[in-house]
Structure 1
Amino acid sequence: MATLLRTEVRAILQPAGTAQYEGAYCPPGVPFAEVRRGPFDGKQDIAVRPDSDGALPRHMTFGGGRIVYEYDGRDRQGRAVYRYAPRLSPSHRVVMDGVAEVYAAHALNQAQGGQ
């Protein structure tokens, strides 16, 4: 783990909570639980720097802004918790369409007697 600068706060990335995934795109045939999953969930070797007023940034973006995590308070260890925000992530629809293809291929394989 990297050393924190004096003003930085450790952060952890988590799957979306209800506030983040409610109303997010979910293609037919895909369990809604898949919507919660973000590509960086569990990442904890990051830090954020508070604004001049001490508030933490509301959003954290990755991939040129295509993946968005939203601030959701602090955990018991004092880390800033950022949750995947599918409604705010421009890449979410494309990723979910890819997940739908995998589910469809699996269902077809099962229907044909595959494992």
Structure 2
Amino acid sequence: MATLLRGEVRAILQPAGTAQYRGAYCPPGVPFREVRRGPFDGKSDIAVRTGIDGEVPKLMTFGRGQVVYEYDGRDQQGRAVYRYAPKLSTSHRKVMDGVAEVYAENALNKAKEGQ
């Protein structure tokens, strides 16, 4: 990553924590662990600009606001940690419905193989 500008802090995107995924949509047949996964998890070549008060933004959005990550403190390296926020992401329901289709297709294929 390039040198940080004045007022910027390195950031990393992580899967949702309990606070973010509790009560989020999870279709039948899909393990709840799938709800935690965000499309940009693990991305660490990001910098956020601090506000006048020195604080980082509480939310970070991608895809025209359809994918939301929520600030969750700092890690040991001083990076701002943002966790996927499925309840705030408008694309979450569509993505989870797609995941459900894949799980259903795999279950159907396994059932066919077992015959």
TM-score range, shorter chain: over 0.9
| Match of residue 71 from structure 1 | 71
Give the number of aligned pairs. 114
Q: Do structure 1's residue 36 and structure 2's residue 36 form an aligned pair? A: yes
TM norm structure 2: 0.98
| Match of residue 101 from structure 2 | 101
CA distance in 2, matches of 1:38, 1:45: 16
| Match of residue 46 from structure 1 | 46
TM norm structure 1: 0.98
Identity %: 80
Q: Do structure 1's residue 25 and structure 2's residue 25 form an aligned pair? A: yes
4+ aligned runs moved over 3 Å, structure 1: none
Which stretch shows the higher mean deviation, 64-73 or 105-114?
A: 105-114
CA RMSD of aligned residues (A): 0.7
Shift of 1:3: 1.6
Structure 1 residue matching 2:70: 3-state secondary structure: strand
1:55-94 equivalence runs, <5 A: 55-94=55-94
CA distance in 2, matches of 1:11, 1:18: 20
Q: Which runs of 5+ in 1 are unaligned?
A: none
CA distance in 2, matches of 1:87, 1:3: 34
CA distance in 2, matches of 1:59, 1:84: 10
